[in-house]
Amino acid sequence: IWRLLLHADLGAVNWALGLFGLPRQEWLSGQATAMPTIVGVDVWHETSLMIVIILAGLTALPRDPIEAAAVDGANRWQALWTVTLPLLMPVLLVAVLIRMIAAMKTYVLIYILTRGGPGSATETISYSIWKNAFTTLDMGRSAAASFLLLVVILALTVVLVRVMRTGGDA
C-alpha cells in the first residue's frame, strides 16, 4: 500500500499535494527524500505500540504526587514537567530502547519500498546483511555483520532489562 501511496506519478500523496498547488515529490526514488520517507512510514507503523506502552505507564502512575503538586499550587504544565515526566521516565526509556532495537532490525520495510535505493540511500545494516548474503553470496561478511548487530542489540537489551528491574535507574 505504501508503494502505491508514495508512487511519484500515480500516488495519492502527490495527488493530494497537487490539490494544494504543491509540486510532486520523488518520495521513494529521490536521494534526499527516500530515507526520511522510510523513517516516516516506520514511525507511522510503530506509533501504536509506543502509545500503548506510554498509556500503560500513565495509567500506572501514582495519583498522590500529582495531586500533591496541585495542592502546592503547581499548574498542569508545571505538574507535567516536575512530577509526571520524572515518574514516567522509566516507561519512556523502555519505549525508546524497544524502538531502537526494532529500528536496527528494520529490513522488510526497506526491501518492499526501495530495495535499499536509490543507490544505497536507504541501505541499513539489516538490509546490507541480507544483500551481502543473498545477492553477492558473501556469507562471511553477512555472518560477521550479523554478529556485530547481535552484540549491539544484546547490549541494548541488557540496558532495557536493567531499567525494567530497577525502575528507571540504569
Q: Which percentage of the chain shows pLDDT scores above 90?
A: 51
- Examine the pLDDT at 59 and tell me if it is beyond 90: yes
Residue 166 has pLDDT above 80, yes or no: no
Q: How much is the average pLDDT of 102-130? A: 88
pTM score of the predicted model: 0.75
Q: What is the mean pLDDT of residues 88-105?
A: 88
Locate cell 501504536: which residue? 48
Tens-digit pLDDT profile for residues 40-57: 999 998 899 999 999 999
Average pLDDT, the chain: 89
The closest of 139, 61, 145, 46 to 100, measured between CA atoms, is 46
Q: Which residue has the cell 502505491?
A: 4
Question: Looking at residue 36, what is its pLDDT?
Answer: 93
Reported as a pLDDT band with limits 50, 70 and 90, residue 169 is low
pLDDT at 168 over 80: no
Question: What is the rounded average pLDDT of the residues 116-136?
Answer: 89
32-65 per-residue burial string, b: 16 or more CB within 10 A, e: under 16: ebbbebbeebbeeebeeeeeebeeebeeeeeeee
Q: What percent of the chain has pLDDT over 70?
A: 98
Distance of CA 121 to the CA centre of its chain: 18
Domains detected in the chain: 1-29 (no CATH), 31-166 (1.10.3720.10)
pLDDT above 60: residue 170: no
Look at residue 17 in the predicted model and tell me its pLDDT: 92
Identify the pLDDT of residue 100: 86
